[in-house]
Amino acid sequence: MSVLNELEKASLSPSAGETSPESHPMDNFMRMDRMPHIWCPTCGIGVSVNCFAKALEKCQVPLDELAVVSGIGCTGRVAGYVKVDSFHTTHGRAIPFATGLKLGNPKLKVVVFSGDGDLVAIGGNHFLNAARRNIDLTVICINNFNYAMTGGQLAPTTPEGSILTTSPFGSYEEPFNLPFLAESAGAVYVARWTSLHIYNQTNAMVEAIKKPGFTFIEILAPCPTIYERQQKFGDGLDRLRWYCDNSDIRNGASTKDVDIRLNEKIVVGKFVDIERPTYLQSMNAHYTEKLGDRYKPYEG
């Protein structure tokens, strides 16, 4: 099935028809009193928030038991718009905050929604260690290849050759390959999709939210105002068209082969889906073995 067909199918999905003049299908999920949001037209972040809402609907997570944690940046603003318990923390530290929140109350479903700069540059150490510990978190990383909120600077994900305000003659740094990074640090679920792949993206979110452990989804998203404009890639829609022509869906691909080069085909898909005990499962099993009856399994 072509991705454009998917796009069409999504627009015809049943929930799209439920809109009445008095209500909006997003009313229960979004803080409508905070609209309009700050994201630019054709930015990919809103697409992912929409997919996230659909994913929550699909997996029937009670919204009272869900918390969204964000760091700083354009994607960092997601927490402020979703009508669940939400925490807009400091730059790079969404994951350790989420770690405390999850361990403080393991009954909560905790989702980290943040950008590439936030999660893997300033927050890189936390990303690695939370994946290593297999903390039960779903991390959704919107990768727009630059620091957009601050006006378009070089990010750790910027493809080599990209022109940005702090790489005015083109970037000469090797970017991170996020799926490879996540897998090698210990993530139990790793997928990458683009803003075009709304079905796959939504399904990945469903799978990741349902799966215990550190689950990671990278979403490649257009940044029409800065990244696409600076690279003369056109606007967000042009970029979606480019994704359509240049996305190579390869489920199960080896993550070391999925690095991103400027103007080259992008490999998307579900790359990792393995089983591994979560941090709390390991802790409870270990203490039960070592301490016997003296230990009451930790439940928050």
Partner 1 sequence: MKADPKGVLTGSHYIDGDFACCEGALAAGCRFAAGYPITPSTEVVERFARRAPLIEGALFIQMEDELAASIALQGAVWAGKKAMTVTSGPGFSLMMEHIGLAAMTETPCVFVNVQRGGPSTGLPTLPGQADMMQARWGSHGDYEIIALCPNSPQESFDMTIDAFNLSEQYRVPVMFMMDESVGHMMERVVIPPADRIEITPRRFTKLPPGEYLPFKPGADMVPDMFKAGDGHRLHVTGLTHDFRGYPNMSPETQEQLVHRLVNKIRLNAPKIWRYEEIDVEDADVVVLAYGITSRLAIDAVALARKEGIKVGMLRLIVVWPFPERRIEELAAQGKALVMAELNYGQVFFEVDRCARGKAPVLLAGHGGGAVHRVEDIAEKIVEAYRCRS
- Beta-carbon contacts of 20 under 8 Å, excluding residues fewer than 6 positions away, are none
Q: Which amino acid is at 278?
A: T
For partner 1, the binding residues (CB under 8 A) are 31, 33-34, 63-65, 67, 69, 79-80, 83-90, 92-93, 96-105, 107-108, 125-126, 128-129, 283, 287, 291, 294-296, 298-300
Least distance to partner 1, CB of residue 295, Å: 6
CA 133 to chain centre: 19
> From CA 253, how far away is CA 269, in angstroms rounded?
8
> From CA 190, how far away is CA 20, in angstroms rounded?
37
Q: Are 118 and 94 in contact (CB under 8 A)?
A: yes
Least distance to partner 1, CB of residue 126, Å: 5
- Beta-carbon contacts of 111 under 8 Å, excluding residues fewer than 6 positions away, are 52, 66, 67, 68, 69, 137, 138, 139, 140, 209
Q: Which is nearer to partner 1, 95 or 196 (CB)?
A: 95
> From CA 120, how far away is CA 182, in angstroms rounded?
10
DSSP string, 229-254: HHTT--SHHHHHHHHHHHEEE-TT--
Least distance to partner 1, CB of residue 95, Å: 8
Q: Which is nearer to partner 1, 128 or 221 (CB)?
A: 128
Q: Which is nearer to partner 1, 106 or 234 (CB)?
A: 106
Q: Which is nearer to partner 1, 87 or 233 (CB)?
A: 87
The structure tokens 């070391």 sit at 256
Least distance to partner 1, CB of residue 83, Å: 5
Least distance to partner 1, CB of residue 59, Å: 17
Q: Which is nearer to partner 1, 46 or 161 (CB)?
A: 46
Q: Which is nearer to partner 1, 148 or 220 (CB)?
A: 148
Least distance to partner 1, CB of residue 113, Å: 13
Q: Are 266 and 247 in contact (CB under 8 A)?
A: yes
> From CA 178, how far away is CA 181, in angstroms rounded?
5
Q: In this structure, what token pair is assigned to residue 48?
A: 């992912």
Q: Are 210 and 298 in contact (CB under 8 A)?
A: no
Q: Which is nearer to partner 1, 45 or 67 (CB)?
A: 67
Least distance to partner 1, CB of residue 277, Å: 16
> From CA 50, how far away is CA 33, in angstroms rounded?
17
Least distance to partner 1, CB of residue 62, Å: 9
Q: Which is nearer to partner 1, 232 or 290 (CB)?
A: 290
Q: How many residues does the chain have?
A: 300
